[in-house]
Amino acid sequence: MRIFVTGGAGYVGSHCVRELCGAGHDVMVFDNLTSGGHREAVDDRATLVVGDLANAELVQGTLSEDHFDAVMHFAAMLNVNESVSEPLRYYHNNVSNTVSLLQSMKACGVEKIVFSSTCATYGEPPVAPLTEDLPQEPITPYGRSKLAVEWVLRDSAAAWGLGATALRYFNASGAAADGSLGEDRDPEYHLIPLILQVPLGQRDHIKIFGTDYPTPDGTCVRDYIHVEDLAVVHRLAIESQAPGEFRFYNVGTGHGASVREVIDAARKVTGHDIPAIEAPRREGDPAELYADPSKIMRELAWQPAYPNIMPIVETAWNWHKAHPQGYASVGR
């Protein structure tokens, strides 16, 4: 297939592009190289077009000229806390730009899309693990923007035959097994890279926000899904997508690791005594968020290659240790 990948220079997108290219697909990356997008992260086998989804003329012209079979859509703003203070930016970038992309797809006859959604669409669910039939009640503009796109995809599938899959990620983590691709975001707000900044000498300690949750060690529990496992899921989803069908899946390992467990794993992997300072809870942090991935395992015949936290942290450390300044360390 010829696949148009928005945000394909970003963290998850770049790993997915590599997976697609390795499977023999013809890939074009469309990325504005901001918000975590890096030219150096784009696979040499893919074509890169630097552009913004807000430029509808460029998007439609590119889709029209190159005759694509499908789209993978990663381009989005992701900072949950920032979305609360700047909701209009998030609705414009995540929702309006996606509607524009879909209009271009319809005009050009591109009938398949895989969408990077999030478990944040569930809000603060009362139970864990999370199944796909739980109510979607997001509590932030970020989560609501992602849910709004899911609604648009569902309605488009019914109205004009779009084939769409929404993949509701849990915590994307880790790095490429060969150490050549990883996470490079400024500012960084994901737990594992923040922890690893301590042994790199880039921060003095890591904060634990809340130690009185109803969990085994009192800290939040999250489902960490390796980025290469996510890449395989995206490939399986696009290869099996049928026009006119809307599908949605939770993508996780089926169990969680606590904040303390992740810190302990990083201490073992790095050999560094990572100081941790206890801090008050952050508003809106559920005690436990982890997936029931049985639906995607059953329907796409998928199993995570990295089901446990230790190898996930190991691959992240290999990347960050070799690239302490991210892609600025690559020199490509």
DSSP assignments along 114-134, one per residue: EEEEEGGGG-S-SSSSB-TTS
Does residue 196 sit in the same domain as residue 99? no
Does residue 89 sit in the same domain as residue 101? yes
| Residue position matching structure tokens 């697909």 | 25
Does residue 231 sit in the same domain as residue 110? yes
pLDDT for residue 329? 84
Give the end of a domain, one of 251, 268, 296.
251
**Roughly how many angstroms between the first and final C-alpha of the chain, as a whole number?**
28
Segments in the chain below pLDDT 70: 331-332
Does residue 12 sit in the same domain as residue 56? yes
Q: Which residues contact 249 (CB under 8 A, 6 or more apart)?
A: 132, 165, 166, 167, 168, 233, 237, 293, 295, 296, 299, 300
142 is catalytic: yes
Return d(Cα 206, Cα 109) in angstroms, integer.
Answer: 49
Does residue 142 sit in the same domain as residue 237? yes
Does residue 37 sit in the same domain as residue 145? yes
Residue 189 CB coordination number (10 Å): 12
Does residue 157 sit in the same domain as residue 49? yes
Q: Which residues contact 302 (CB under 8 A, 6 or more apart)?
A: 232, 233, 236, 296
Does residue 104 sit in the same domain as residue 203? no
Return d(Cα 84, Cα 95) in angstroms, integer.
Answer: 15
Does residue 229 sit in the same domain as residue 322? no
pLDDT for residue 332? 44
Does residue 307 sit in the same domain as residue 265? yes
Q: Is 332 a member of any domain?
A: no
Does residue 46 sit in the same domain as residue 87? yes
Catalytic residue (one of 11, 90, 122, 142): 142
Provide the domain count of the chain: 2
Domain that holds residue 289: 191-222+254-326
Closest alpha carbon to 123 in 285, 292, 239, 4: 285
pLDDT for residue 244? 96
Does residue 199 sit in the same domain as residue 54? no
